[in-house]
Amino acid sequence: MDFEQFWDLIAPDISFQNRYNAAQKEWELCSPRKQQAIMDWLRIHGSYSQRNPYFFIKDFKPDPPFLHGDEKGDLVMVRYKGLYKICTRETMQQFKLEYVRDW
């Protein structure tokens, strides 16, 4: 993912323009999955100019990737934000999700 695309999408307020280098370094520390989740969030919600871009990246927590339940493999049902979802056991462990049962 290209940091310039992120910077254009987040469209930081003039008071945060000096955070460019710090935000770019934090961006480079992110996994491609987190970068994609950030870009997807910004495309859905629009710019977030009121927030320091460095802390937006640092504090951003992507939602776990959930499945439909018709996939093969080691799947489990978890509870997430009050809803029951299907994901891999690995995702459950990675995101520390509440286990409900094997799928």
Q: What are the structural domain ranges in the chain? A: 3-59, 64-103
Instruction: Render the burial of 25-54: b for 16+ CB within 10 Å, e for the rest.
Output: ebbeebeeebbebbbebbeeeeebeeebbb
The whole-number pLDDT of residue 91 equals 92
Per-residue pLDDT tens listing for the chain (103 residues): 799 999 999 999 999 999 999 999 999 999 998 999 999 989 988 888 889 999 999 999 888 889 988 888 899 999 999 999 999 999 999 899 999 999 9
pTM of the model as a whole:
0.70
**Is-contact 86 75, C-beta < 8 A?**
yes
Percent helix / strand / coil, the chain, rounded to 5: 50, 15, 30
